[in-house]
């Protein structure tokens, strides 16, 4: 038969599980257990969640705010009733708010609660196209910790709330997060769009600007940049040739190093 081994009680069988095993011999099933400690303002308020999953579906949980097990699905109803009937085990579970959560808080506080990683912010249009066409400006915020973050869009100094969409918080899997916050807009020449990011790792908001430029303005800017780079290349080449020639002039002729040079008087 199929059963679950739960703290404070024996295996709890399930008739539906037995039928499944009979119909699907050799099938694999996944049982998961997850304990969560939620802290509010340090340890001022602590909430303990103990959750049980079967084939990735939660079926029963213990919530310290409730004080007992509650069924999440019909599958968990008889199991919740059984666990709530085990009074000694239930009292131990309630006490874990202190014996587990508050007890372990000090050990993990330094690399969880106090950990701070500065976000990286970049702004770019999702499509390269002329101005006065619908476009999506993307504010990419990545590599930050903790996950609490606020991202706002401004156009010419005024906050934009309409047309703002977000991917929400995305976990990178390395104790950092990322998010994309996008602004639907029709950029016009001369407008300045600003992405503002507030995060616990920085003392003042981070801002990154994107300026709407016409194609002619972009061409002029690129020409200016290209001319500047070309000038640097010519300057570098000129300095290289100059110093190489200077070095050649400073060299001591080989005849000076010879004892038989023309200045020697021979008797």
For 6, 29, 254, 255, 256, the CA distances from 263, given in Å and listed in that order, are 106, 101, 13, 10, 9
Query: How much is the pLDDT for 255?
Result: 45
Assign 213 a pLDDT band (cuts: 50, 70, 90).
confident
Is 70 exceeded by the pLDDT of residue 56? Answer: yes
Tokens of 51: 């959750």
Is 60 exceeded by the pLDDT of residue 158? Answer: yes
Give the CATH number, domain containing residue 161: 2.60.40.10
Q: Is residue 267 part of a domain?
A: no
Among 74, 108, 142, identify where a domain stops.
Answer: 108
Is 219 or 14 the better-scoring residue by pLDDT? 219
Is 80 exceeded by the pLDDT of residue 12? Answer: no
Mean pLDDT of 136-159: 97
Query: How much is the pLDDT for 264?
Result: 47
DSSP state letter for 109: T
Instruction: State the residue range of the domain holding 195.
Output: 120-213
Which long-range contacts link 22-30 to residues 24+ away (Cβ below 8 Å)? 29/2, 29/54, 29/55, 30/54, 30/55, 30/56
Mean of the per-residue pLDDT values of the chain = 82
Q: Is 199 exposed, middle or buried (0-12, 13-18, 19+ CB in 10 A)?
A: buried
Give 84's contacts (C-beta < 8 A, 6+ positions apart): 68, 69, 90
For 150, 173, 252, the CA distances from 155, given in Å and listed in that order, are 17, 34, 67
Query: How much is the pLDDT for 169?
Result: 97
């Amino acid at each position: 038969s199929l059963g679950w081994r739960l703290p404070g009680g024996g295996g709890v069988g399930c008739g539906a599980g037995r039928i499944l095993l009979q119909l699907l011999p050799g099938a694999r099933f996944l049982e998961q257990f997850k304990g969560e400690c939620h802290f509010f303002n340090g340890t001022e308020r602590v909430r303990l969640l103990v959750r049980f999953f079967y084939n990735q579906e939660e079926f029963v949980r213990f919530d310290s705010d409730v004080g007992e097990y509650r069924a999440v699905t019909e599958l968990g109803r008889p199991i919740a009733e059984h666990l709530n009937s085990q009074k000694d085990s239930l009292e131990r579970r309630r006490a874990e708010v202190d014996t587990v959560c508050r007890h372990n808080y000090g050990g993990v506080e330094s690399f969880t609660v106090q950990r701070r990683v500065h976000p990286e912010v970049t702004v770019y249009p999702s499509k390269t196209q002329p101005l006065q066409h619908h476009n999506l400006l993307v504010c990419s915020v990545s590599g930050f910790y903790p996950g609490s973050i606020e991202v706002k869009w401004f156009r010419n100094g005024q906050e934009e709330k309409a047309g703002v969409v977000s991917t929400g918080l995305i976990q990178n899997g390395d104790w950092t997060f990322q998010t994309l916050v996008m602004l639907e807009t029709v950029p016009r020449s001369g407008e300045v769009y600003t992405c503002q990011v507030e995060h616990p790792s920085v003392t003042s908001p981070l801002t990154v600007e994107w300026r709407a430029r016409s194609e002619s303005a972009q061409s002029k800017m690129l020409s200016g940049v290209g001319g500047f780079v070309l000038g640097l290349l010519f300057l570098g080449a000129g300095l290289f040739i100059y110093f190489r020639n200077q070095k050649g002039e400073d060299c001591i002729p080989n005849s000076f190093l010879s004892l038989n040079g023309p200045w020697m008087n021979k008797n």
